[in-house]
Structure formats: C-alpha cells, structure tokens
Amino acid sequence: MLTIPLNQIIDQDDFYRITFLPDLRPLVESMKRIGQSQPILVQPVSGVFYRIVSGFKRFWAAKELNWSDIRAETAEVDSEQPFSLFQKSLFENLAIRQLNWVEKAFVLQKLVQQFQIPREKIISEWLPILNIGKNQKWLVWLSKIPDYELIVKEAIAKDEITFDLFEFFPALSADDRVALVQFYRELKLGKNRQKEFFYLLRDVMQRDNTSMTHLLENQDVQQIVKAEDLALGNKVQKIRGILRRWRYSSMNEMEKRFREIVHSLRLPPGIQLLPPQNFEGDKFRMTFTFRTPEDFSGVVAKLQEITASGDLTALTSLWEAD
Amino acid sequence: MPYRKYIPEKIIVEKRVWELPWTQEILSRMKGLPVRKISTIEEEALACQKAVISPEESLKTLALAQQSGKFLKPCPGTSNYVCCGYYFLNIATNCDVNCTYCILQSYLNIPFMVVYTNIEDAFRETDGVLGAHKFPLYRIGTGELTDSLTLEHITHMSEKLIPYFAQKKNAILELKTKTTQIENLLHLEHNRKIVVSWSLNPDEIIRTEEKNAPSLKERLDAARKVDAAGYRLGFHFDPMIDYPNWESGYKDVIGRLFAAVHSGNIAWISLGALRYPAQMDRLIRERHPESKIVLGELLPGKDGKLRYFRMLRQRMFRKMVDWIHSHDPNVTVYFCMESPEVWKYAFREQVLQKCPLPGMLDRSVFEWAK
C-alpha cells in the first residue's frame, strides 16, 4: 500500500476509465467524514507517475476535497496484463452499480479498439455481461457513443434519450445530434414521443434533402418552444401538429377540410362527427351523449335539422377534393 | 446497369428430387457449378440463419426441391379491398431482381432461389382443380413468389407450362415478369391461352428501385416480340410510386407502351399503388438506404398495410385510367387490392356494380365469356 501525491496521478489518462458523469456528492461526503475506506488501484508509468486502474471516483472526490495525496495499491504491469486489470476494474464496478449507456459504450469501445477482442466474442460473452442482447447491431450502435458530443453523451448517460434512437444517431451529423438533444430536453419529451418526433423529422429531412438542425430552427417551431404562455403539453401537441403537417401534407389538408365541414354544421358540444380512419373507406361515424330524454330529443332535433338543411352533402364532396 | 441474367454460384438439390427428369435437365444446363445433395431446403435455410448469411448471399444458391405443399393456391387478397379471384401456381420462389419494394423480402422463410422440380405433381394438382369446375374459369399466374421468367434460361419452365395450359379450356396462364427472357416462348404453341405480362415503371423508378431489372425500353422490346408471336399481353403498373415527376413519367410509359404493342392484344392493365406490411418499412430502410419510397405519404389502410394516402391514389389512378383509355377505351384496366371507393373515383362511376372484378377479367381473356 502506498500514499501517492495526487499530482503524480495522470489526470487525463482514461486507458482504464469507464466511469462517465458520476454523482460524486455521496462519496465526497463520505470521504470528508470517515476518510478513504478503500485504496485505489494504480499502475506505475514513466517513473514517478501513475495511471488509475480503478478508483476514478475516489480520485476525483479527493481532488474536490483538496487532499494532497491518496492511498493506493499498485498493479505491476509485468505481472498483470492490461486486459486483466481492465476486467478487475470493470467487474468491481459491475458488482456495486449499474453502468449507464455511455459507460457500457466505453467498455465496448475499449474491448474493440484497445484490447482487440474479436467481435464474435464480444457479442456472445460481453454484451450479456453488460445486460445487452446478443446482437451485433448493438455493438455497432453503442461503439459510436464515446465519440459523440458531450451534451449528447450527457443526455444518454442520464437516460434522457430513449435507447430506441441509438441506432439512428451514427447517421446524424454532430450538429443534428446536438440540436435534437437540446430540442428534446427543452420539451422534456417522453420516450414514445421522442421516437414519434424523430421518425417524422428524419423522414422530412431525407425527403427534402435538408438537415434536422434546419428543421428544428424553423420559425414556427421555435416560437412554440420559446412561448412562455404555453404549458409544456400544449407545446408538444402544437409541434407534433407541425411535424405531421410537414410529413403528411395531403392528409393534413384533408383533415383541415373535414374540420371546416364539421364546423359549418354547427354541431352542439355533445355530438361528435368523425371521418373514416386515415380517410380510408366511406363511412363517417357520429357519436353523441345525453343525460335525459329531453337531452336526447334535442340531439335528434338537431340531427333532423342538419339532414333537412342538406349541409351533410358537403361530406360526400370531400372525396372529390382534387 | 445492363440487365444480367441470374447465374447461381452453387446448386443444392434435395435427395428426393435428384432423379426427377426436370432436376437432371436443369443440372445438365448448369455444368461446372458445384452441386450438393441435401436433405431438405428447410434444414439448409436454418443453417444459413444460424450462420447469419445475408439474403443477398443466400440468393446465389439455386435450390432444386420438392413442393410438399400445394402448388396451386387462391390469392389471399387483403381484407376490405377488392380482389380479382386469381390463382397462384408456385413452381419457383424468390427473386434475384431485388426491387426495393418487394414483398418477398419479408415473406419467404427459404432464402435461396428455389425451383420445385416435381412439376408433374403440379400438373396433376392443377388437373384436379380445373376438373372440379368450382369456378367456370381460372386465371392462374406463376409470378406471385418469383418473377415468372427470371430463371427461364436455367429451367426452360415455359416449355413445360405453355403446352400444358394451351390445351386447357377453362384456364389462362399468366407469366408475369420484368425480364426479357422470352426467346423460349416465341416458338411455342400457346393457343392464345397464355398472357405474358410485364411490370412497368418509369425509367427514373427503374433506375432507383428496380436496379437489377431491364430498362423500360428492353421490357417493351420484349413485349413487342411476344405480341408478334400472337400471345395475349398484360401490363402491371404495380407498384406505382409517387415521386415528384410521376405524372410525366407514367404518362410517357403509357405512350411508349401503346406505341410498342397492338392494344387489341392487351388482356389487361393493372394498377396498384405502393403498399406493404408495416413491418417491411424497417426492412426497406435497412436493406435499401438509398431508396426514397418509404418517404412517401404512406398511412395504414383498412388492412393495416401502409399505403399512399387515399387522395393521392385516387388522383394517380384517375389520371392513369384516362391516359390508357385515351389510347384505347376498350382496354381492360383494373386495380389490384383497392377499395371500392377508389374504384368509383378513378373510373368516375362504380364499374364494379356493372360487373364484379373477376368477371371483368374473365371477359377480357375468355372469348366465350364475352
């Protein structure tokens, strides 16, 4: 066991590091009150300096507490190969906590690039260890994450981005990834909405040969995002409307025409008129509610009035909308 | 890219069909290729699946196998849309043309190009169905699970099917293709009982979505030769693709089609807009990332499949019907798996009320049904 000055530890060396965005507060508090209970594991490099094998959080906590040194054990590189040290560090972490997605990605990237473990072995042995399905696609998608922009990695690590979107991120430009993450953060989108919005944006982007950043900078979208008088749920609904209008313009036009017709019928609040789903078919649906026989008679009278007026013929002209 | 005929890299043959004449005939044309006897294609398919062999790689294997199920099946159609009462004769499965929109990508369990060489069983089964006279007339096609002529240079399938159907009084055989493999057909006695059909699209779509298929010109040249040999002709604009220049693109194809063949020989022209099961959307995006067809305004229809928004289909079909009938008002045009509402809009009247679709098509090809 050694006591090593903190300035002899190479701060930026991340050969063994998998920890990303840790919450240091409990550890800082603990080390402040009861000191360092476990030594960190280091490896001597270039004379007086050391590289951390495991114990990054303890090292960062010690720095935050302005300690001058830290207790450590040394691993001799001659007797222990780097890969076994990496495993030691990894399993020490896995034994006490869940790794976030970025940390899992770091592990996979190190296995591929640093330790050159065959892909088949990673898929069959290491993905299950990391609690990921044995599918080579996951290896491809996750291995890209370490290279993403910090804000994107932060959002992934904090589970703010659904993992269903990981497969699409490599194909996005850095600007698009950042713009999307910021957009999702501002709207605090749930995972299903994230997917829905992504698919709409992606399709419009590809169809119109534009970028996601360009779409998200759209004036109408930004006005809604920044509107102070709108509740978050309203913002999401309004932006969804815009994205669907971009993606499904003919359908949107038809919905608008249908709403105009319904509006012209001046239906009382209890009566609802609905088109066939996606306007496939020719059957409309009407629903109404009532409490009393008098209510019911009122509804019937209104329906008779509409029938007699001939206004319903507007519905059949809907299909001739060209 | 010029059209290249399918050449397998290897052949696998089920032991149970090894001795069959058609198996040996095919093998005699493929000398020099590695041939392996196997137990069943299902076992081979499973091994391929375990070894994670790509669909493109698997297609390089030609499998000669026994059809253990039925050769002849009615088209299942699709719920809530109008069906034409067609029968499929499945003598081969899979296709090398690799169109981006092809349903076979999500449909077949066997990844190889398969030919079922127990064709005598197919004839026996067809004899039984036709002899039972459940329907007065049968329109039968081999182009459901494959392109009818893509393996013609290897199998000479037409030399077996055409003489057989030429003698049938209550059946028409349709050979549906995108290829130009018609040489074998030209000398056969067909007795006007065969419809040779081409699936057509504008060249812009052929270049991007049907990359391994012959150009429009090559297809129409082939149709012209078949027309001259006295065959009935069919044309299928299916799937029609909505793209920025679709109007000029499809109008041009119609013009070239009527310039190429005698319209009196056209048995039918079918129209169908792009549609596919929802789960295929992902497959297309993965396998054909350059294709833009998935970016069309596709929405779930009454059968759950994704299809173009109704108003787009109506517009496309009405224009197509008008263009076709401006060349020849007597040509039978029909829609494949379309709703009665769209039929009515496209034809400006409900033609199905006058005559249901199966009857309409029967009249086009069976003289006595008129």
Question: Could you report the predicted ipTM of this complex, rounded to two decimals?
Answer: 0.86
Instruction: Find the mean pLDDT for residues B203-225.
Output: 96
- pLDDT given at position A321: 59
* B311:A279 CB<8 A: yes
Question: Would you give the distance in Å from CA B53 to the centre of its chain?
Answer: 26
C-alpha to C-alpha distance for B334 and B350, rounded to whole angstroms: 12
pLDDT for residue B75 is more than 90: no
Q: Residue A79: pLDDT above 60?
A: no
**Chain B contact for A163, CB < 8 A?**
no
> Given this model, what pLDDT does residue B129 score?
93
Contacts of A251 in chain B (CB under 8 A): 297, 299, 309
pLDDT of the residue at A316 = 83
Nearest to B341 among A206, A250, A282 (CB): A282
pLDDT digits (tens, 9 = 90+) for A114-137: 999 999 999 999 999 999 999 889
- The stretch B332-343 carries a mean pLDDT of 91
Query: Rounded mean pLDDT of A2-23?
Result: 90
Reply yes or no on domain B10-369 having CATH 3.40.50.2030.
Answer: no
CB atoms within 10 A of CB A171: 12
pLDDT of residue A46: 78
Mutation site for B-interface testing, chosen from A202, A208, A250 by largest number of B Cβ within 10 Å: A250
Residue A322 to chain B, least CA–CA distance (Å): 7
Domains of chain A, start order:
1-79 (3.90.1530.10), 264-320 (no CATH)
The Cα–Cα gap between A222 and A226 comes to 6
CA B193 to CA B364: how far, in whole Å?
A: 12
**Confidence bin at B370 (pLDDT 50/70/90):** low
pLDDT tens-digit readout, A58-67: 999 999 999 9
Position B280: which residue type? M
Query: B125-155: per-residue pLDDT in tens?
Result: 999 999 988 888 899 999 999 999 999 999 9
**Dist CA B73 CA A229 (whole Å):** 62
Confidence of residue A47 (pLDDT cuts 50, 70, 90): confident
Interface of B with A in 321-360 (CB under 8 A): 339, 341, 345
- Burial of residue A12 (number of CB atoms within 10 Å: 0-12, 13-18, 19+): exposed
Q: Which of A206, A207, A321 sits opposite B311 (nearest CB)?
A: A321
Contact B339 A254 (CB under 8 A): no
Interchain pair B339, A320: CB under 8 A: no
pLDDT at B317 over 80: yes
Pick from B294, B301, B315: which is nearest to A280 by CB?
A: B301
Beta strand pairing status for B35-38 and B10-14? parallel
Q: Which tokens is B316 given?
A: 């496309």
| Low-confidence winner among A145-159, A200-214, A220-234, B330-344 (lowest mean pLDDT) | B330-344
For residues B329-335, average pLDDT: 94
Per-residue confidence at A77, pLDDT binned at 50, 70, 90? Answer: low
Average pLDDT estimate for A300-320: 88
Residue-averaged pLDDT of chain B: 93
Does the CA dihedral B310-B316-B322-B328 come out positive or negative? Answer: negative
Of A22 and A148, more confident: A148
What is the number of alpha carbons within 13 Å of residue A248 lying toward its C-beta? 20
- All residues of chain B having their beta carbon less than 8 Å from the beta carbon of residue A206 are 292, 295
Residue of B nearest to A281 (CA): B341
pLDDT band per the 50, 70, 90 thresholds, residue A1: confident
Query: Distances from the Cα of A239 to the Cαs of A223, A245, B133, B326, in angstroms?
Result: 10, 10, 60, 46
Contact state of A280 with B294 under an 8 Å Cβ cutoff: no
Give the mean model confidence (pLDDT) for residues B243-268: 97
Q: Enumerate the domain spans of chain B.
A: 10-369
Model confidence pLDDT, tens digit, residues B20-38: 999 999 999 999 999 999 9
Position with higher pLDDT, B365 vs A230 = A230
pLDDT beyond 60 at B165: yes
Lowest-confidence pick of A241-250, B40-49, B336-345, B350-359: B350-359
Closest in A247, A281, A322 to B339, CB measured = A281
Tell me: pLDDT of B83 over 90: no
Alpha helix stretches (DSSP H) within chain B: 21-29, 41-50, 55-58, 104-107, 119-132, 152-155, 158-166, 203-209, 216-228, 246-260, 280-287, 310-327, 340-347, 351-354, 357-365
B301 and A278 within 8 Å at the Cβ level: the answer is yes
Predicted pLDDT of residue B369: 59
pLDDT score of B2 more than 80:
no
Residue A78: per-residue pLDDT:
63
Cβ of A282 within 8 Å of Cβ of B300? The answer is: no
- Indicate if the pLDDT at residue A268 is higher than 90: no
* Average per-residue pLDDT for chain A: 92
Chain A residues lying within 8 Å of B294, measured CB to CB: 203
| Cβ within 8 Å of A, B 65-94 | 80
